Chain A
């Protein structure tokens, strides 16, 4: 059981937009920055979004992040088949003094 809650799967057609939610609590998302990671099968996760809504160098602006209260959202516009991957939200939990992740969301581009 993950500390952060994500939907197991989302899907959308190429070119469309999709959002992935991440729900937490006052001790994690409510207090600390949220990051998002993209993971393709057989590879290590890759940082996609950090500090709620910042993109590392090389990440296209089709990817965006936001936070409201104790929830965060990853948005992907102009979906491409190459975006099919697992997406994880993560942050620090100040009560647990531990890193925490969501259970991951599998994105299917139909």
Chain B
């Protein structure tokens, strides 16, 4: 079954870091780019960044530069999103999404179930 399965919900204090995982199965992991998209409560979708199929290249949205790191473990078909120096505005559902056509700008054809990250003192 082709799917992306994400790690469970997290509660963090302001200033802390969080690391969310996204495990792929049912397809050739090293063929596709993976994106991270987040959605604050009641808000729209926000693109955070992308990691290439082999994990040696990333591109982050300007507003997250310096706070975000995306990594990829091809041995376990898992990608990770780490966000540092958390603030309350980072409370959101974080999604991983596959770029379906094998290119970085391909449409997001497969999504993880989402991981709720709550930042609260």
Contact = CB atoms under 8 A, between A and B. Distances in A.
Nearest to A4: B44
B102 interface: no
Nearest to A88: B45
Main secondary structure of the interface of B (DSSP, over half): strand
Interface in A89-105: 90-92, 96-104
B105 interface: yes
A96 B108 contact: no
Contact of A50 (B61, B62, B100, B112): B100
Interface stretch (A10-18, A32-40, A69-77): A32-40
A60 interface: no
Interface of A: 2, 32-33, 35, 37, 44-47, 50-51, 56, 88, 90-92, 96-104
